[in-house]
Amino acid sequence: MTIKVLKDVIERAETWPDEAQAELAAIALEIDASVREGVYRATREELEGIDRGLKAAREGRFATDAEVEAVFAKHRRG
């Protein structure tokens, strides 16, 4: 069943905008790397993003519930 679901998603993804296809490909490559190596190694850009997020958390900079909901609402389909 998993293979069929995966094939169906990939087929639908062929109609997605390039940006969405690139995001799916990046995620798939990350999963593939972790399966092959058993250990995920973050890129420098990812580590910098983590550092920025930790710094923001230490400074108490968090999105409000309303801000988070607005982002989800903007990107929700249907």
Residue 21, class by beta-carbon neighbours within 10 Å (0-12 exposed, 13-18 middle, 19+ buried)?
Answer: middle
- Give the tens place of pLDDT for each residue, 15-69: 999 999 999 999 999 888 888 877 777 889 999 999 999 999 999 998 889 999 9
Contact 13, 21 (CB under 8 A): yes
Q: Give 12 or 41, the one with higher predicted confidence.
A: 12
What residue spans define the domains of the chain? 2-75
The predicted-structure confidence for 58-67, as pLDDT tens digits, reads as follows: 999 988 899 9
